Amino acid sequence: MNIPATERTPAITLSNNPFRLMISGESFPEDVSAFYGEVISAIGELPNTHKEKLEVEVALIYINSSSIKALYRMFEGLDAYRQAGNEVQVLWKAEDDDDIMQELGEDFKDRFQTLNFTGEQHG
């Protein structure tokens, strides 16, 4: 899966070698369900198609509330992948001065405590 970024949507890539899900950019699509539906479905299928460590990298600059709900559903799918016996490593990247994205990362870390979360701040 390789969804290029637009002015309103993040780049989303699911690749092998290494097995990695990357989400970066801004997220305020006009139709959240249409944009994230395919991604949520693909993540939901992972326990049936893969049996290996999944690295997840999230580097969002801006996200609206509807997109946060979609991201939550994606993380539920990642947790289901972990529950199927696979390792999931999450790297949440945020700018040094972006308190909102840092706090959002902390919220996801608190809600999905069984996922291996690491936060990274950069300038």
The Cα 107–Cα 87 span in angstroms is: 20
Integer angstrom CA distances of residue 47 from 1, 8, 50, 66, 79: 16, 30, 6, 26, 10
Residue 33 sits in a domain whose CATH number is 3.30.750.24
The model carries a pTM of 0.95
Residue-wise pLDDT for 3-47, tens only, equals: 999 999 999 999 998 999 999 999 999 999 999 999 999 999 999
Asked if the model's pLDDT at residue 63 lies above 80, the reply is yes
Half-sphere exposure of 114 (CA within 13 A, CB side): 13
Q: What residue numbers bound the domain in which 50 lies?
A: 2-122
- Three-state secondary structure call for residue 19: coil
- Contact call for residues 55 and 14 (beta carbons, < 8 A): no
- Mean pLDDT, the chain, integer: 96
Total structural domains within the chain: 1
Nearest alpha carbon to residue 14 among 25, 27, 26, 3: 3
